[in-house]
Structures are given as C-alpha cells and as structure tokens.
Amino acid sequence: MTFNRCALTAGLAGALSLAAPLRAADAPALSLRTLNGGAFDLAAERGHVVLVNFWATWCPPCREEIPALNAFYRRYHGKGLEIIGVSADAARDREAVVKMSASIAYPVAVIKDASVNGFGSTHGLPVTYVIDARGALRAEMRPDSAPVNAQSLEATVAPLLGGK
C-alpha cells in the first residue's frame, strides 16, 4: 500500500487533532537554499505564520496535498503566510524535484541543501509543521492524524493569521 510507505509513523501517540495544538515551544532552526537560489531562514520569518512542509516526489499523499497548499498560499501569502516545501528526495532525484516545483506556488528546497535542520529526520511523509508569528511550533499535520486539505488549513492556520 503506497500510503504506508509514505506516511509510516512511530505510532499515533504523538498524533494531534486539529483542535489540539502542540505546546507552544520555539520552532526548531531551519536554514536552507531554495531551488530558485534564494535563502530561507525560519528565524528570519518572525512576524509571519509559516508552514514547513516535508514531502517527496515519490510520495502520493505528498503530491495530493500540494493543490491545497498552493491555494492556501495564494489566498493568504499577502496576509502574513509563508510556506516552504522541503523535499526529502535523494540528491540523484533533484531533477524530478525541480520539475515538480514548477507547479508549486511557494518556495521549494531540498533537505540536502539545509545548512541547519533542527527538525531532524521526519518519521514519515508528508508532514507539515505550523509555526505562529512569534516563532512557536503550534501544530503538526500528517495524513493519519491531521491531513492537509482546504478545511484543515482554514481551521488550523487561518486563525493564527489574526484576521489579516
């Protein structure tokens, strides 16, 4: 089953519902070069709500989330939202990542290009971390517990934008 290959987790003990945010702790550090040559530093994004989406080209659930993330980014980018798509693809698959990123509205990077990755290894893909404007990690969204779709993004992320 493809979903199992992409979304394996260590268990559901840490799974979050949409209404249950993570304890407000500072988000891990993340600094990397985007595919378009830009720099992304999560610490520099204070004042914005940020989604850090770990994904891979070979992961069907990852690809299924992209249209919802694209639409949400287009709707809220001017209202204080930033999204970074971080591909977990192997270095040899960079061309596939570049090709797929052409259909993604928000910046994309490859995890291998990270100079700092405080998130460490993910326990399954996809996973999206929600960081509030103060830099606190507020939610973790995964297909098995809090899937990324239009409704979940509106319920989980839009309120953090403070009616902007």
Span 4-58, pLDDT tens digits? 345 433 332 233 333 344 456 899 999 999 999 999 999 999 999 999 999 999 9
* Radius of gyration (C-alpha) of the chain in whole angstroms: 15
Other C-beta atoms lying within 10 Å of the C-beta of residue 118: 12
User: CA-to-CA distance for 1 and 4, rounded, in angstroms?
Assistant: 6
Q: pLDDT digit string (tens) for 97-106?
A: 999 999 999 9
18-161: in CATH 3.40.190.10: no
Mean pLDDT of the chain: 87
Give the sign of the dihedral formed by CA 72, CA 74, CA 80, CA 83.
positive
What is the per-residue pLDDT for 51? 98
